[in-house]
Amino acid sequence: MSDEQNNNPEPEEANGPRVPLPEAPSRGYFEGESVTRRNAFIVSSQVLAGVAGAAVVLPTIAFALAPVFTPFEERWEAVGVIDDFTSDNYRAVVFTETLGIGEVGKTTAYVRKGSSEYEGESDDEFVAISTRCAHLGCPVRYVQAAGNFICPCHGGVYDFVGKRIGGPPPRPLDRFQTRVEDGKVEIGPRFSVTNQLKAVRVRDPGEFTGGIWEFLYPPRPSTPPAP
């Protein structure tokens, strides 16, 4: 084979000469577009992620903050006439603490007439002590023979005015506000007390009251203000 034959260019393809393709547009753009497809996908996926995030976060925030803006509705209920109560013994009364939830909204309190014999009381007031144990919330019972409130769950014991004297409860028993209207004793909103029986905003069972605990266990905004 001669040198001339060896230098021949590649044979043309059977279907004819190769036609060069038109120059490709820049990657991601179509004619008339000002944003690449990649950027369009990024932006739309970020918008979708934002909407999905807002759908989860906004209701949570609204749920948490709603109680702050919901005014507390004070409720009073008559539980007997003045002469039904004495200062040396308690009488158990059942009343509705939370409206609209049926029997579950009812609670029991031990009520007696106040006495200047006891710290911070006067003879013309009434004292209503909650039966909800300040430890974990079991119902306590007043035992007249001992003059104490006893909790059956873990042995919590409270004295005559509801101060803890034994067992695991971290604070005295809660109380309810009282007043007299038309000769009837009425029970109002619940409140908690410190070990010195100073009224504070109501706390959940297990929470201490007074001193630094007021900051460590801040009250829930949905609870009534302290009297």
Q: What count of Cα atoms within 13 Å lies in the side-chain half-sphere of residue 159?
A: 9
Contacts of 141 (CB under 8 A, 6+ apart): 131, 149, 150, 152
Supply the minimum distance, in Å, between the C-beta of residue 195 and ligand FES.
Answer: 16
Contacts of 190 (CB under 8 A, 6+ apart): 97, 130, 174, 175, 176, 177, 202, 223, 224
Q: Which is nearer to ligand FES, 173 or 185 (CB)?
A: 173
Residues 50-79 touching ligand FES, rule: CB under 6 A, are none
Tokens of 23: 């120059």
One residue of 78, 138, 199, 226 binding ligand FES per CB under 6 A: 138
- Minimal distance, residue 55 CB to ligand FES, in Å: 40
Among candidates 192, 54, 183, which has minimal Cα distance to 130?
A: 192
- DSSP codes, 140-206: PEEETTTTEEE-TTT--EE-TTS-EEESS-SSPPPEEEEEEETTEEEEEEEEEE-TT--EE----TT
Q: Shortest distance, CB of residue 146 to ligand FES, whole angstroms?
A: 16
Nearest alpha-carbon partner for 126 in 138, 111, 141, 137: 111
Min CB(155)–ligand FES separation in Å: 6
Length of the chain in terms of residues written: 227
Q: Which range touches ligand FES (CB under 6 A), out of 24-32, 65-73, 110-118, 151-159? A: 151-159
Rule CB under 6 A: say whether 133 interacts with ligand FES: yes
Give the binding range for ligand FES (CB under 6 A) out of 35-43, 60-68, 97-105, 161-169.
Answer: 161-169
Contact string (CB under 6 A) for ligand FES, positions 166-195, x = contact: -xxx--------------------------
- Contact segment (CB under 6 A) with ligand FES among 31-39, 81-89, 134-142, 173-181 equals 134-142
Q: In angstroms, what is the minimal distance from the CB of 62 to ligand FES?
A: 34
The residue to which tokens 């004495």 are assigned:
86
**Number of residues in contact with ligand FES, rule: CB under 6 A?**
11
Distance CA 95, CA 187 (A): 8
Binding residues (CB under 6 A) for ligand FES: these are 133, 135-136, 138, 151, 153-154, 156, 167-169
